[in-house]
Amino acid sequence: MTDREPFLLSNAQDRVGEKLGVSDWVFIDQVQVNVFGEVTRWRTPGHCDPEYAKTTPYGGTLIHGFHVVSLLSHFYRDAELWPEDGGYPLNYGLDKVRILQPVVIGDGVRLRSHISLMEADDKGNGEWLLKNKHEIEVDGLDGYAVYAEYLTYWFPKAPAAEAAG
């Protein structure tokens, strides 16, 4: 995005269909998968027991699909796609999510997201509903592991307070 105009809520409709950016890699290891399993109450052997997982068709533990999906907000901000005129977003949900292939943890995996703008709906008063496509790549794995359409409801930046006279 460096040779393009900055990403703004006010120009979002002009950017629909564009690949906006790619996040940095995020490293996930077995400890993080175990913690995710604890917090979500889904500490199953296929995710959290490496010895058991060796006996499965995957040969190792898998990252939870929801763990990957939970990183969407991080990926978006990490790719520096926060609109310069955006004050703050609210998670508005997901339109479509597909776990396209299992991701074996092994000694750890690296994930990153390729992010495109699918829709930008003007809600008035400087507020926007943006739909971004996330295609999650796993280092060393062919194809994407997760596809997600993530919605955020954006509020504009508050005007700067005027200096007291």
Is residue 44 situated within a structural domain? no
Q: Which of 2, 5, 9, 6 is nearest to 88 (CA)?
A: 9
Report yes or no on 111 lying in a domain: yes
Q: What is the pLDDT of residue 63?
A: 98
Q: How far apart are the first and last CA of the chain?
A: 40
Is position 143 within any domain? Answer: yes
Structure tokens at 75: 């990926």
**Structure confidence at residue 127 (pLDDT):** 97
Structural domain includes residue 51:
no
* Residue 65 in tokens: 């699909």
**pLDDT score of 89:** 95
Which pLDDT belongs to residue 158?
Answer: 87
Residue 72 belongs to domain with CATH number: 3.10.129.10
**Residue numbers in the chain where pLDDT is lower than 70:** 1-4, 160-165
In a domain, 47, yes or no: no
Determine the residue type at 105. Answer: I
- DSSP-derived 3-state class of residue 125: coil
What pLDDT does residue 6 have?
Answer: 85
Domain count, the chain: 1
- Kindly state the tokens that stand for 13: 């409709």
Residues of the domain holding 85: 18-26+63-156
Element (H, E) at 124: strand 109-124
Residue 99 in domain:
yes
